[in-house]
């Protein structure tokens, strides 16, 4: 009754091919943007920003990045944590070396540097496939973390081995460092999410995205019909790492403020982002958001329930949480291998007929 496309006529290919072809969806999207820009910054407080909203936004970027590589181009990567570390350390070096240049440019450059590193570690993908590649990307994970731990130049010879973000401003508002306010942090992350999601959506439905999907579905067949595996795979690694690098830069500079590489960008980060795209839906931009939201919200919810509601000790709650996350992964893979994105699509299909299904 409420979700209808009757009377929604399209008179051109452009209208037919748009991201939200149904008018109601479009309005909902505009409303969401309006709320995100006009309402949330005025009501956000430090708890919500640091517990839910900032991690959600930042992990969304990382999940979109990994989804481009794994969901669209079919190259499974377990090196996400390592690439996030590249972004974080790149932005740290840039911030401290060129303090007069805007942090936005630094974050973009950090993404670019990560893209180069990603392409380097993507080179073996031309020879290695499937599991072998998944395991090979672990080489990137372990090597990069070790590198940032052992070479003092990367953390500016600080005694603790940590990197700490200095205060930097955008339009006169501090966005990094201890002085940054929750709305400022939120808005800069939102800006990056908005632009990058738009970019990802349009890349994946264009020529490049189709090449990626052809490689994913069957790389030999794709090669025969004229898709160059070298450019397709390396561009997937580059674009994916660009996103992941920006996520890492934001995670360190805006969200954490200080980071130690083994703890902040260890292999668990790689698995976390991988779980996000599995639960959210492989090969779907919406799925990346849904998966990130799910895996950011669920621990907060479980923690409040078990330690706050039931009064369990925190270590027990953490272990039960591990079990639940693991079980969720398996259940999702069995029940709906295409993740929340597919559930959402099915729900919309049902809703279009509701309440008169015949």
Partner 1 sequence: MDQLFFAAEVFLNGLMTGVMYSLVALGFVLIFKASGVFNYAQGVLALFAALTLVGIQQGQVPFAHLINAIFGTHVESFGWTLPSIAAIALTVLVMIGLAILIETLVLKHLVGQEPIILFMATIGLAYFLEGLGDVMWGADIKTLDVGLPQGISDSVEAVTAEWFGYGFFIDRLDIWATMIAALLVAALVAFSQYTKQGRAMRAVADDHQAALSVGISLRFIWIMVWSIAGFVALVAGIMWGTKSGVQFSLSLIALKALPVLMLGGFTSIPGAIVGGLIIGVGEKLFEFWVGPLVGGATENWFAYVLALLFLVFRPQGLFGEKIIERV
Q: Which residues make up the interface to partner 1 (CB under 8 A)?
A: 76, 124, 127-132, 134-136, 138-139, 142-143, 145-146, 149-151, 218, 220-221, 224, 267, 271, 274-275, 278, 310-313, 315-316, 319-330, 333-334, 337
Given 3-state DSSP classes, what are the helix, strand and coil percentages for the chain, each rounded to the nearest 5? 75, 0, 25
Q: Report the residue number, 43 or 330, with the smaller CB distance to partner 1.
A: 330
Q: Contact, 71 vs 204, CB < 8 A?
A: no
- Tell me the sheet residues that pair with 174: 169
The H helix count followed by the E strand count for the chain is: 17, 4
Whose CA is closest to 247, among 220, 211, 277? 277
* End-to-end alpha carbon distance in the chain: 13
Q: Report the residue number, 179 or 327, with the smaller CB distance to partner 1.
A: 327
Whose CA is closest to 250, among 192, 331, 304, 208? 192
Q: Report the residue number, 25 or 321, with the smaller CB distance to partner 1.
A: 321
Minimum distance between the CB of residue 223 and partner 1, rounded to whole angstroms? 9
Minimum distance between the CB of residue 163 and partner 1, rounded to whole angstroms? 17
Minimum distance between the CB of residue 165 and partner 1, rounded to whole angstroms? 25
Q: Which residues contact 70 (CB under 8 A, 6 or more apart)?
A: 76, 77, 274, 277, 282
Q: Contact, 140 vs 83, CB < 8 A?
A: yes
Integer Cα distance of 23 and 39 in angstroms: 23
The sign of the CA dihedral 55, 58, 62, 64 is positive
Minimum distance between the CB of residue 135 and partner 1, rounded to whole angstroms? 5
Minimum distance between the CB of residue 33 and partner 1, rounded to whole angstroms? 33
Minimum distance between the CB of residue 213 and partner 1, rounded to whole angstroms? 15
Q: Report the residue number, 203 or 320, with the smaller CB distance to partner 1.
A: 320
Q: Contact, 201 vs 285, CB < 8 A?
A: yes
Q: Report the residue number, 111 or 122, with the smaller CB distance to partner 1.
A: 122
Phi and psi at residue 164, to the nearest 5°: -125, 130
Q: Report the residue number, 2 or 330, with the smaller CB distance to partner 1.
A: 330
Minimum distance between the CB of residue 220 and partner 1, rounded to whole angstroms? 5
Integer Cα distance of 112 and 252 in angstroms: 16
Minimum distance between the CB of residue 95 and partner 1, rounded to whole angstroms? 25
Q: Report the residue number, 60 or 141, with the smaller CB distance to partner 1.
A: 141
Q: Report the residue number, 40 or 297, with the smaller CB distance to partner 1.
A: 297
């Amino acid at each position: 009754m409420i979700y209808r496309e009757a009377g929604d006529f399209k008179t051109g290919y452009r209208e037919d091919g748009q991201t939200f072809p149904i008018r109601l969806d479009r309005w909902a999207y505009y409303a969401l943007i309006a709320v995100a820009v006009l309402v949330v910054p005025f009501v956000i407080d430090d708890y919500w920003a640091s517990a839910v909203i900032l991690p959600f936004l930042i992990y969304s970027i990382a999940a979109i990045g990994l989804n481009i590589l794994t969901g669209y181009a079919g190259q499974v990567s377990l090196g996400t944590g390592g690439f996030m570390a590249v972004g974080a350390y790149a932005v740290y070096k840039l911030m401290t070396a060129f303090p007069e240049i805007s942090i936005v440019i630094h974050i973009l450059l950090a993404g670019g540097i990560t893209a180069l590193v990603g392409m380097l570690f993507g080179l073996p993908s031309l020879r290695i496939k499937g599991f072998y590649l998944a395991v090979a990307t672990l080489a990137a994970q372990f090597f990069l973390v070790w590198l940032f731990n052992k070479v003092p130049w990367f953390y500016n010879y600080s005694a603790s081995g940590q990197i700490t973000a200095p205060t930097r401003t955008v339009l006169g508002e501090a966005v990094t460092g201890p002085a940054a306010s929750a709305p400022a942090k939120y808005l800069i992350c939102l800006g990056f999410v908005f632009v990058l999601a738009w970019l990802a959506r349009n890349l994946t439905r264009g020529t490049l995205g189709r090449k990626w999907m052809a490689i994913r579905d069957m790389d030999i067949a794709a090669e025969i019909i004229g898709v160059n595996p070298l450019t397709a795979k390396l561009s997937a690694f580059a674009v994916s790492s660009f996103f992941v690098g920006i996520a890492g830069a934001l995670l360190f500079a805006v969200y954490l403020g200080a980071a130690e590489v083994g703890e902040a960008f260890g292999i668990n980060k790689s698995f976390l982002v991988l779980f996000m795209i599995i639960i959210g839906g492989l090969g779907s931009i919406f799925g990346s958001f849904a998966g990130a939201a799910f895996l950011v919200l669920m621990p907060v919810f479980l923690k409040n329930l078990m330690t706050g509601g039931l009064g369990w000790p925190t270590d027990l709650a953490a272990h039960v949480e591990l079990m639940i996350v693991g079980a969720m992964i398996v259940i999702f893979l069995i029940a709906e291998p295409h993740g929340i994105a597919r559930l959402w699509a099915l729900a919309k299909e049902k809703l279009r007929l509701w309440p008169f299904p015949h």
